[in-house]
């Protein structure tokens, strides 16, 4: 079966089956395009946590129409690490991107754009394969930490595989007054986005808001390429609801999480938190808020107390956390509008995928503001998919963000690259009951080994004290193995185990409780087997034995 274009890649049997499902459940594919492979739009939010899903109309609409992957996780709850894994379908030990920022000590793990580039990840990113197969590829929004431009200095190089590359640089964390890029004849050019004065009308200020600029560019991309002969892939990477990174707000009175002005309380109107009233968002929406930390103490393999990393009190009062939650909900509404407009604009031969790079905690488990843990608040993310042949309903299968790259390759009629550790989600599109994987793995490298994270100005040094760890998650339990010794040739392990059978959050470390002994033993064996796969890096094919660990 061909794609409809004489020189296009052949559709594999799995893809043919998908199109048969599409024929039974979706409108016919457009007859005017030479290459009838589907368009794909990926929307990635920044630090979006599950507690905000109920505020989004787009999430409700996508649930009604398509797949809700209720067991979707990320390989590490750090922005740059997670995004690198989305691009490559690989774990941090394969990408070499282990932290948000570049290292300062010889031999230490690195992060940021420099690690992504130096380890060959741009060439391994799925967009390269899609572009080479005939897709028009576009990127709009937040790219990778430390991929930045300073006025008066040269622009960073344009990564391969993008037909259009509109990166919005990091000053957009604060909402306004930032620069972005565009590709012209294969070279990057800078576009400035100046902010109006505070005295300007609210609508004028919001037109210059990062979320609005990203939205407008995304809709223009779709309009330009909707009727083209080539299919397109577009990633829309929002900054919301990430906190601003500068201690001083751009506009006086901007909160730590700055929403568009239209979504803030104004002129006697309450703030816009979407589908819920802002006043209805409380600590009840933050399971585990204020939990005592003493019963989370890590234990050694023998069940004795190990080092305890979560020892500092949450520096924020309850009212601050509730205010943060509501501002994050208001901030997320700009992305909600973007997704709803995308859903209305795309045609029936387009997949739309909506997710986040990681979660965020606001007082749960005794912590303050931040991310980086293996707890549900930080690694459990939304994942919604709509498109031809996607049967609506929840999926029981455990998935990871490394599954997105091979998914997009398969949708494009390609065989996923053998070095991708993730597995395509396409077989689950037509059958919600499909469960092939029951485990996901997480890796985290202590941020203390590298430069200060850009979030630290407003979240404190909480991220710096989270130790390195490897973790494995099932539908019913989480096992975390910390390494308290940062030396690469030594280890000092401590364990935490949490059961989710009767609770949705991590209340008590049950690693040594006899009733969980069998489950803990299974998960410990999974981690030991995963250790043996940690040598697989770069473009090395992933052995079948390593892929089998998620079953």
Q: What pLDDT, in 10s, does the model give residues 494-546?
A: 999 999 999 999 999 999 999 999 999 999 999 999 999 988 889 999 999 99
Q: Collapsing DSSP states into helix, strand and coil, what is residue 289?
A: strand
CA 222 → CA 28, 228, 234, 326, 347, distances in Å? Answer: 20, 10, 8, 31, 10
From residue 517, alpha-carbon distances to 51, 117, 303, 496, 521 in Å are 31, 43, 11, 13, 6
| Each residue's pLDDT tens digit, 180-228 | 999 988 899 999 999 999 999 999 999 999 999 999 999 999 999 999 9
23 CB contacts (<8 Å, ≥6 apart)? none
Residue 409 has phi, psi (to 5 degrees) of: -65, -45
Please determine, for residue 433, whether its predicted confidence score (pLDDT) is greater than 60: yes
- For 199-203, 440-444, 457-461, which range has the lowest pLDDT when averaged over its residues? 457-461
Q: What is the CB neighbour count within 10 angstroms for residue 545?
A: 10
How confident is the model over 95-130, as pLDDT tens digits? 999 999 987 665 666 899 999 999 999 999 999 999
Residue pair 412/135 in contact (Cβ under 8 Å)? The answer is yes
Beta strands 72-73; 399-400: pairing state? parallel
β-pairing verdict for 393-395 and 399-400? unpaired
- Separation between Cα atoms, residue 184 and residue 141, nearest integer Å: 17
How many Å apart are CA 239 and CA 355, to the nearest integer?
13
Q: Please tell me the predicted confidence (pLDDT) of residue 17.
A: 35
The answer on pLDDT for 22 being more than 70 is: no
Q: Which of 19-23, 92-96, 214-218 has the lowest mean pLDDT?
A: 19-23
pLDDT over 50 at 13, yes or no: no
Which pLDDT value is given to residue 107? 60
Q: By the 8 A CB rule, do 234 and 43 touch?
A: no
d(CA 85, CA 119): 13
Distances in Å between the Cα of 339 and the Cα atoms of 48, 103, 166, 530 are 14, 36, 18, 37
% pLDDT > 90, the chain: 83
Q: What is the mean pLDDT of residues 352-366?
A: 96
Cα 370 from Cα 17, distance rounded (Å) = 43
Asked if the model's pLDDT at residue 27 lies above 50, the reply is no
Select from 288, 300, 303 the least CA-distant residue to 507: 288
DSSP-derived letter for residue 305 is B
Task: For the full predicted model, state whether its pTM sits above 0.75.
Answer: yes
Element (H, E) at 428: helix 426-429
- The whole-chain average pLDDT of the chain stands at 91
- DSSP tag of 241: T
Distance CA 375, CA 373 (A): 5
- Indicate the helix (H) or strand (E) that contains 408: helix 404-411
Pairing outcome for strands 187-193 and 178-184? antiparallel
């Amino acid at each position: 079966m061909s794609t409809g274009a004489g020189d296009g890649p052949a559709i594999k049997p799995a893809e043919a089956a998908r199109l048969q499902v599409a024929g039974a459940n979706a409108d016919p594919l457009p007859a005017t395009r030479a290459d009838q492979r589907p368009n794909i739009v990926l929307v990635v939010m920044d630090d979006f946590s599950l507690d905000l899903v109920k505020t989004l109309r787009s999430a409700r609409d996508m649930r009604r129409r398509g797949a809700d992957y209720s067991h979707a996780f990320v390989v590490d709850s750090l922005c740059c690490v997670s995004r690198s894994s989305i691009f490559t379908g690989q774990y941090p030990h394969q990408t070499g991107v282990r932290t948000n920022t570049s290292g300062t000590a010889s031999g230490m793990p690195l992060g940021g754009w420099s690690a992504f580039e130096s380890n060959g990840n741009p060439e391994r990113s799925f967009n390269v394969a899609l572009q080479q197969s005939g897709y028009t590829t576009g990127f709009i929004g937040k790219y990778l930490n430390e991929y930045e431009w300073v006025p008066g200095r040269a622009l960073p190089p344009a990564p391969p595989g993008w037909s259009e590359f509109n990166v919005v640089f990091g000053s957009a964390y604060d909402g306004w007054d930032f620069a972005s890029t565009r590709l012209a004849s294969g070279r990057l050019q800078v576009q400035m986005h100046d902010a109006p004065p505070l005295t300007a009308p609210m609508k004028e200020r919001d037109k210059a808001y990062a979320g609005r600029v990203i939205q407008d560019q995304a809709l223009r991309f779709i309009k330009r390429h909707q009727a083209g002969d080539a299919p397109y892939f577009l990633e829309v990477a929002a900054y919301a609801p990430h906190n601003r990174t500068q201690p001083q707000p751009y506009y006086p009175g901007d909160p730590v999480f700055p929403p568009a002005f239209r979504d803030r309380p104004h002129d006697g109107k309450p703030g816009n938190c979407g589908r819920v009233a802002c006043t209805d968002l409380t600590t009840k929406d933050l399971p585990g808020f204020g939990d005592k930390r003493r019963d989370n103490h890590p234990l050694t393999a023998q069940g004795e107390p190990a080092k305890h990393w979560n020892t500092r009190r949450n520096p924020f009062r309850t009212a601050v956390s509730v205010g943060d939650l509501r501002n994050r909900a208001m901030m997320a509404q700009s992305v909600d509008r973007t997704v709803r407009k995308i859903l209305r604009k795309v045609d029936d031969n387009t997949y739309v995928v909506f997710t986040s790079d990681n979660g965020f905690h606001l007082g749960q488990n005794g912590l303050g503001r931040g991310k980086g843990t293996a707890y549900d608040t930080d690694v459990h993310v939304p994942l919604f998919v709509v498109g031809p042949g996607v049967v609506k309903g929840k999926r029981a299968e455990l998935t990871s963000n490394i599954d997105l790259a091979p998914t997009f390759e398969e949708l494009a009629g390609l065989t996923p690259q053998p070095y991708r550790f993730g597995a395509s989600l396409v077989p689950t599109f037509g059958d919600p009951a499909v469960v092939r994987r029951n485990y996901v793995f997480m890796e985290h490298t202590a941020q203390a080994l590298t430069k200060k994270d850009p979030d630290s100005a407003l979240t404190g040094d909480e991220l710096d004290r989270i130790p390195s760890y490897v973790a494995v998650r099932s539908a019913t339990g989480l096992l975390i193995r910390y390494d308290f010794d940062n030396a690469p040739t030594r280890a000092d392990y401590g364990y935490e185990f949490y059961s989710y059978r009767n609770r949705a959050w991590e209340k008590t470390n049950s690693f040594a409780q006899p009733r969980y002994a069998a489950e803990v033993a299974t998960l410990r064996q999974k981690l030991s087997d995963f250790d043996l796969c940690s040598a697989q890096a770069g473009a090395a094919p992933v052995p079948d034995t390593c892929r089998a660990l998620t079953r």
